[in-house]
Amino acid sequence: MFSALLAVGAIAGLMVLLACLLVRAGGGFGASLVAVVRENAMKFTLLLAGTAMAGSLYFSEAANYAPCKLCWYQRICMYPIAIVSLVGVIRRESSPKVRMLAPYVMTLSVMGMCVSTYHYVLEWFPQLETSVCSLDVPCTTVWFREFGFLTLPGMAWVTFASVSAVMFVVLRSTDDPGSEPTIEGA
């Protein structure tokens, strides 16, 4: 339940950030929030990816949920994001250097989002499984479903989407602190 509540919080944060990006805020709350996200991108990314990494290790090592192949592919995308963002936070990387890292983090995040989407769909429609996973650890196993929709791949998707949104802010920004990225200008 705790992980599901964290995911709901991430969904709320993602929705607020997307709303701020959609609205051309001339200097109001939206612009301020986007500026905070831009300046603290590595910290937000570490919070998201680090929590997801710790959660996945907890579920496999403490709760004994055996990860399937698709879970491993998601981990292959998530863990490097956590490590890169940790290094960025430790080095106190500023906006220009974070902008150099953003394409790599975004690529991993989008790849992970694709795998999570497929995995989530398989949980709801197991008949679509195309022998991607093994019989002993099927990808269609639903370990839990909180709030009627949140499963492990669903929570991974939320994390990847949130990291992608943070990286979008970084990639669309300029070094001019007065300019704010918008989805309209994308």
Asked if the structure places residue 179 within a domain, the reply is: no
Give the model's pLDDT for residue 24. Answer: 59
Residue 150 bridge partners (DSSP) = 146
- Distances from the Cα of 186 to the Cαs of 9, 21, 22, in angstroms? 26, 10, 10
Asked if the structure places residue 177 within a domain, the reply is: no
Give the model's pLDDT for residue 76. Answer: 93
Asked if the structure places residue 72 within a domain, the reply is: yes
Q: How far apart (Å, rounded) are the C-alpha atoms in residues 128 and 54?
A: 30
What is the residue-level pLDDT of the chain in tens, covering all 186 positions? 667 677 777 777 777 777 777 765 556 777 777 888 888 888 989 999 999 999 889 988 898 888 888 888 999 999 999 999 998 888 877 667 777 888 899 999 999 999 999 988 888 877 776 666 766 766 666 666 677 667 888 889 999 999 998 888 888 876 544 444 545 444
In SS3 terms, 150-181 reads as ECHHHHHHHHHHHHHHHHHHHHHCCCCCCCCC
pTM strictly above 0.75: yes
Asked if the structure places residue 178 within a domain, the reply is: no
Asked if the structure places residue 182 within a domain, the reply is: no
Q: Which domain holds residue 95?
A: 2-172
H and E: helices and strands count for the chain: 6, 0
Give the model's pLDDT for residue 102. Answer: 86
Give the model's pLDDT for residue 176. Answer: 47
Domain count, the chain: 1
Asked if the structure places residue 66 within a domain, the reply is: yes
- Dihedral class, residue 29 (left if φ above 0, else alpha if ψ from -120 to 50, else beta): alpha
Give the model's pLDDT for residue 11. Answer: 77
Asked if the structure places residue 14 within a domain, the reply is: yes
Asked if the structure places residue 41 within a domain, the reply is: yes
In this structure, what DSSP letter does residue 66 have?
A: P
Q: How far apart (Å, rounded) are the C-alpha atoms in residues 167 and 169?
A: 5
